[in-house]
């Protein structure tokens, strides 16, 4: 089990030696119970660190933001930024390296292994506790969580509150890291694409009825785009104005620019937006589940991205996020790629 003391030691050492400009990690939030992201800059801050099953966030998003911030500085700090990564987060780093958005020397990766379990699903846990307030959540052995509540501790089997993505996770320990806390673990996943297969078993009409209902809820807040570590494009088709407007841009130029989709949350436009997002994340989404967690109306967005991951695996034998030297999924091909759908 990844111990908090080990993690604190690593972070403390990195900060004391001044090898990193800051460490992006988790701390316990002020209201208690759940973890929240934190930027640690001073050696004494390391004591605030936490590592427990509520560390659900993918901190790689902050690496993307940090990269942008540094690029905008007059005197950028040449030191790398430290970041705590779980298995899924480390794969996000692999994708960013693959796409050359960051360089390996830009980051110091402190890997933590989820080993046999993973992180909790906030919604499942809240439902399970039925109104009791969480004080602390801890790993309890290999397959259960110990939840301290305001009305005493409860031990919950991990399978009941584990996030869906963790149940289908192919690599619970980081695939790329500088320091690893905890042990490298292999985990047998009986149904790596179980959730997607449930949708696939439906008829075309049932599928559409399902998605129409789900995407109809979308309010187009773009939270899924904001939390996604892969959504770092400077211009996005979903924005009304998706090109740089300067004082010299004429009204005619603005009018001539293609507007791919409307901003209004109508069913057709929502479907369009989510199709575009899914296809743009094909071969890039590493299933950290942040889009789904961030969604205020509970759209199961993972089911779209996971489907693309499944097809990448089945059609092209492509494993997403394991090898930083491999080209991206759609910027390579094999001669034997399937073409049975082509006349």
Partner 1 sequence: MSEEFEPKIVAFLCKWCSSAGSDLAGVSRMEYPPNVIPIQVMCSGSVSPLYIFSALNRGADGVLVSGCHPGDCHYIKGNMYARRKLALVKKLLEHMGLEPERFQMSWVSAAEGKKYTQIIKDLTKALKPLGPQTKLRRNP
Beta carbon of residue 280, minimum distance to partner 1 (angstroms, whole number): 8
Round to whole Å and give the CA distance between 308 and 153. 40
Assess 199 for contact with partner 1 (CB under 8 A). yes
* Candidate ranges 89-97, 139-147, 172-180, 325-333; the one touching partner 1 (CB under 8 A): 325-333
In order of 130, 193, 272, the CA distances from 143 in angstroms are 21, 21, 40
Assess 237 for contact with partner 1 (CB under 8 A). yes
Assess 316 for contact with partner 1 (CB under 8 A). yes
Sheet hosting strand 152-157, strand order edge to edge:
134-140, 144-149, 152-157
Continuous H helices in 236-301: 251-256, 267-280, 290-294
Give, to the nearest 10 degrees, the angle between helix 204-216 and helix 267-280. Answer: 100
Which residues 6+ apart lie within 8 Å of 259 measured at CB? 240
* Candidate ranges 58-66, 71-79, 207-215, 240-248; the one touching partner 1 (CB under 8 A): 207-215
Beta carbon of residue 292, minimum distance to partner 1 (angstroms, whole number): 16
Beta carbon of residue 271, minimum distance to partner 1 (angstroms, whole number): 6
Enter the tokens of residue 204: 């075309």
Q: Is 172 or 283 the residue whose CB approaches partner 1 more closely?
A: 283
Q: Is 16 or 332 the residue whose CB approaches partner 1 more closely?
A: 332
Provide φ and ψ at 109, rounded to 5°.
-95, 120
Place of tokens 């007059």: 74
Round to whole Å and give the CA distance between 246 and 241. 12
Q: Is 16 or 209 the residue whose CB approaches partner 1 more closely?
A: 209
Residue 276 exposed, middle or buried by CB count within 10 Å (0-12, 13-18, 19+): middle
Q: Tell me which of 5, 150, 206, 253 binds partner 1, using CB under 8 A.
A: 206
In order of 23, 65, 101, 228, the CA distances from 75 in angstroms are 19, 17, 20, 28
Long-range contacts of 205-208 (CB under 8 A, 24+ apart): none
Q: Tell me which of 39, 210, 232, 322 binds partner 1, using CB under 8 A.
A: 210
Contact (CB, 8 A) for 181 and 115: no
Beta carbon of residue 14, minimum distance to partner 1 (angstroms, whole number): 40
Which x/- pattern, by CB under 8 A, does the window 25-64 give for partner 1? ----------------------------------------
Q: Is 165 or 307 the residue whose CB approaches partner 1 more closely?
A: 307
Q: Tell me which of 75, 201, 204, 250 binds partner 1, using CB under 8 A.
A: 204
Assess 145 for contact with partner 1 (CB under 8 A). no
Round to whole Å and give the CA distance between 319 and 162. 23
Q: Is 203 or 246 the residue whose CB approaches partner 1 more closely?
A: 203
Contact positions with partner 1 (CB under 8 A) in 252-291 = 260-262, 266, 268-269, 271-272, 275-276, 278-279, 282
* Candidate ranges 9-17, 160-168, 240-248, 311-319; the one touching partner 1 (CB under 8 A): 311-319
How far is C-alpha 338 from the geometric centre of its chain's CA atoms? Answer: 30
Assess 333 for contact with partner 1 (CB under 8 A). yes
Please report, as ranges, the residues that interact with partner 1 according to CB under 8 A. 196, 199-200, 204-212, 237, 260-262, 266, 268-269, 271-272, 275-276, 278-279, 282, 304, 307-308, 311-312, 315-316, 329-333, 335, 337-339, 341-343
């Amino acid at each position: 089990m990844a111990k908090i003391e080990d993690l604190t030691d690593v972070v403390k050492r990195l900060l004391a030696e001044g090898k990193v400009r800051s460490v992006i990690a988790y701390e316990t939030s002020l209201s208690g119970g759940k973890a929240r992201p934190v930027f640690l800059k001073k050696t004494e801050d390391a004591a605030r660190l936490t590592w427990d099953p509520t560390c659900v966030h993918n901190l790689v998003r902050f690496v993307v933001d940090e990269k942008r911030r540094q690029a905008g500085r007059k005197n950028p700090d040449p030191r790398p930024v430290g970041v705590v990564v779980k298995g899924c987060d480390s794969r996000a780093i692999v994708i960013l390296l693959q796409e050359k958005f960051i360089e390996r020397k830009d980051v110091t990766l402190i890997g933590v292994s989820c080993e046999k379990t993973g992180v909790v699903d906030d919604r499942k846990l809240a439902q399970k506790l039925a109104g009791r307030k969480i004080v602390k959540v801890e790993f309890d052995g290999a397959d259960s969580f110990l939840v301290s509540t305001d009305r005493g501790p409860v031990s919950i089997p991990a399978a009941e509150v584990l996030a869906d993505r963790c149940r289908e996770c192919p690599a619970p320990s980081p695939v790329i890291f500088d320091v690893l806390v905890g042990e490298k673990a292999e985990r047998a996943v009986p149904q790596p694409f179980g959730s997607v297969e449930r949708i696939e078993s439906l008829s075309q009409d049932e599928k559409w009825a399902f998605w129409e209902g789900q995407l109809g809820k979308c309010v187009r807040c773009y939270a899924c785009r904001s939390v996604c570590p892969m959504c770092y494009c400077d211009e996005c088709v979903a924005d009304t104005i998706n090109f740089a407007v300067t004082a010299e841009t004429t009204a005619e130029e603005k009018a001539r620019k293609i507007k791919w989709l409307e901003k209004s949350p109508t069913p057709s436009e929502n479907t369009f937006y989510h199709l575009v997002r899914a296809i743009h994340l094909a071969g890039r989404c590493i299933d950290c589940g942040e889009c789904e967690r961030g969604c205020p109306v509970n759209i199961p967005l993972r089911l779209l991205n996971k489907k693309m991951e499944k097809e990448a695996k089945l059609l092209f034998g492509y494993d997403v996020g394991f090898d930083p030297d491999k080209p991206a999924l759609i910027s390579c091909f094999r001669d034997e790629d399937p073409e049975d759908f082509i006349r």
